[in-house]
Structure 1
Amino acid sequence: MLRLEIRLVVFLAALALLFLLAVEWSVDGRRYGPALSDGDSPRRRSATYRSAGIVSTKTPNKKRQKNYSFDPLPSNVVESVDGFLFFVGYARSGHSIVASFLDAHPNVVIAHEYALFNRWAETPDLFNNRREFLFNTLFNSSHFSAQAGLRQGKGGIKKKGYSLEVPSWYQGTYEGGITMIGDKAGGMTAQVYRRNKDKFVSVYRQLCSTAGVPVYAIHVVRNPYDNIATMLLYNDHVKQTTNVTHKYRNIDALRKQIKAYFVQVESVLDMMKQAGLNDITIHHSSFVKNPKGTMQRVCNSLSVTCSESYLQMVAEHTFSNESQSRHLVEWTPELVKTVEANIAKHPILKHYKFK
């Protein structure tokens, strides 16, 4: 009788162990699986990363999305990562092109608009202390963006007049190993801070602890007049109908956009100070004028080696002239002075002028 009871206990314990190994646990009502291994099926890998929000139902190529499967990074590649990077700043400021060039580097992976801080703030247990899962998630987000054409000028992010895709380079992939990994979602990252400063600082500290490597923040700054004008034109969907002769006029909307922009500026600068971010500031105008020199400085700050061919690629794919969208919008003297007065409050913007 005693032997039967012992066998029953052992059987139940083994059954419970198998259940714990097989089950996927739930966080805030959403399902997330354990860390993936090389032996996991493509279907299971895909389902697990879909639960992390990599694949959006709004992506342009639903056929590619349906057939896409995720491959985990080899453990030695995960171990090769020695830096983490995210973006902070403002919409329409030039983050996307900088991130696209970095993602094209053979040893850098930058996810396109994964919104890591937003997701981490909503479900803290998703990534906390799960380094391998974090890096795999960002890599597969970058890979899917490249495969689905999300950086292309048409059908993807719908940029007008240019593409963020760099053919024949390493967007969505890598060569040999990954030195730097991260996410590009500058405006959304700043929104997390504006909504809840304490939560942002908490997520940032968890990120630093989980990544286990130095964490950097890239801050791209554009001429405020151009940034504000582009925000206005983009939000009102009128950019294609404007030119320097027939300027877009919406004074009330422009006034609101000016206010919104400087709220973002103050929030971002406060965030960098309060969280003690290791930030790298890039002025968009300097990048356009000297793309090779600017990217070399960024690579040096990140301890990433940049070949001459890589820097030449950056130079060849950068716009020949900076877009001065401020001249596509009608400004009143009052609003120009309003921006001028706000610029004077922030040393990082002090050299920017309307003309």
Structure 2
Amino acid sequence: MESEKAKRFKLVSGFFWFYYYVVSYYKGKKLKECFSQIDKYIFFIGYPRSGHSLIGSLLDAHPNLIISNEMNALHFFKKKYFRHQIFYYILRNSQEHSKLGRSNSNYNYVVPNQWQGRYTKLIGIGDKKGGKSTAILGDENYVKLLDDIQKISQAKLKIIHVIRNPFDNVSAMVSRQVKIGYPLTETLFQERKKLYLSKVKTNAKLKAQIPNDICDVHLEDFIAAPKKELTRIFQFLEIEVSQKYIDDCASIVWKKTNHSRFDLSYWTTERVENFLKDIRQYDFLNRYNYE
């Protein structure tokens, strides 16, 4: 039987959802003209601790794009919100994060002289929520959900798949749990590894289903050559970029990647070999090793 506390929680949650729905409906309607030329909907898939925040922030700096940060826009598509409502929340999120300095995980992602939270003419919009988007697509009938996103957004889907060395991914995921108080155990390690591989499996299915709509971005390549990789991303997005924009974005990119795998003293030879067997099943991870 449902407790009184649970009933109150559902009641309060329902009220807030109703409030946000009404607000977004009317405020989004006022921005319909601003959204009228959007023909590309961009979202991220991937894994926790992969560099999505950096790349999402750089895209948000383009004068013709707005990219929200960690909004989980797929949730609104699942609830069948209208196009202008979802776009309103994406724009508001981008503006709020830009006012706060576009910082995350001790990094500052402010691009000098560019357009974060602002725009000249919007032709693309989207959300940066890589790991969660993959989880939602893995739990849902992803073919139907992708079709719903396309119909609601009335735009062409452009999906960015950010990839990092799997050993760094899992290590960072484990370290994050340890940092918030969980003991480093075999159970914790295996759970994080399983979570990572479940996302890999989902993304591999998506890549097989819609290969032309997904752009793989390897974080290591992006850090090594940000101007080249940004140019490639915008070719995929079919959006023009200025050299000034590329130069300003490249100026904030880190000089090297963080090798989290070397900070976690848990990778025995056996664990490394077992994990290599897991990731060798996927062509987009074949390049990676522990060393």
TM-score range, shorter chain: 0.7 to 0.9
Question: In the alignment, which residue of structure 2 is the partner of 1:231?
Answer: 173
Cα 1:33–1:250 change in 2 (3 A) is closer
* 1:169 corresponds to 2:99: no
Question: In the alignment, which residue of structure 1 is the partner of 2:58?
Answer: 101
1:80 to 20, 23, 37: 37
Residue 176 of structure 2 aligns to a residue in which SS? helix
Partner Cα separation in structure 1 for residue 70 and residue 187 of structure 2: 30
Question: In the alignment, which residue of structure 1 is the partner of 2:246?
Answer: 311
Partner Cα separation in structure 2 for residue 81 and residue 194 of structure 1: 27
Partner Cα separation in structure 1 for residue 255 and residue 284 of structure 2: 24
Question: In the alignment, which residue of structure 1 is the partner of 2:255?
Answer: 320
Q: How do residues 42-191 of structure 1 correspond to structure 2 at under 5 angstroms?
A: 48-49=23-24, 72-73=30-31, 75=33, 77-121=34-78, 123-124=79-80, 126-127=81-82, 131-149=83-101, 151-152=102-103, 157=104, 159-160=105-106, 162-175=107-120, 177-191=121-135
Partner Cα separation in structure 1 for residue 222 and residue 125 of structure 2: 21
Q: Which residue type is aligned with residue 165 of structure 2?
A: N
Partner Cα separation in structure 1 for residue 29 and residue 99 of structure 2: 13
CA positional deviation for 1:147: 2.1
CA positional deviation for 1:324: 0.7
Partner Cα separation in structure 2 for residue 270 and residue 345 of structure 1: 12
Task: Tell whether the 8 Å contact from 2:28 to 2:87 is kept in structure 1 after alignment.
Answer: no
Partner Cα separation in structure 2 for residue 178 and residue 333 of structure 1: 51
Question: In the alignment, which residue of structure 1 is the partner of 2:6?
Answer: none
Question: In the alignment, which residue of structure 2 is the partner of 1:287?
Answer: 222
Cα 1:347–1:272 change in 2 (3 A) is closer
Residue 80 of structure 1 aligns to a residue in which SS? coil
2:156 to 214, 218, 228: 214
2:271 to 327, 330, 335: 335
Question: In the alignment, which residue of structure 2 is the partner of 1:16?
Answer: none
TM-score (norm 2): 0.85
Return the index of the structure with the highest Cα Rg: 1
CA RMSD of aligned residues (A): 2.7
- The CA deviation string for residues 275-322 of structure 1, in whole angstroms up to 9 with x for no partner, is 667111101110000000000000111111111111111221111011
Task: Tell whether the 8 Å contact from 2:157 to 2:213 is kept in structure 1 after alignment.
Answer: yes
Q: What stretches of structure 1 of length at least 5 have no aligned partner?
A: 1-27, 35-46, 53-68, 239-247
TM-score (norm 1): 0.71
- The CA deviation string for residues 157-188 of structure 1, in whole angstroms up to 9 with x for no partner, is 4x13x21232442111112x012111111111
User: Whose RCO is larger (CA < 8 A, sep 6+)?
Assistant: 2
CA positional deviation for 1:201: 2.8
Q: Which residue type is aligned with residue 261 of structure 1?
A: Y
Q: Which residue type is aligned with residue 23 of structure 2?
A: T
Q: Which residue type is aligned with residue 136 of structure 1?
A: Y
Q: What stretches of structure 2 of length at least 5 have no aligned partner?
A: 1-13
Partner Cα separation in structure 1 for residue 219 and residue 56 of structure 2: 13
* 1:344 corresponds to 2:288: no
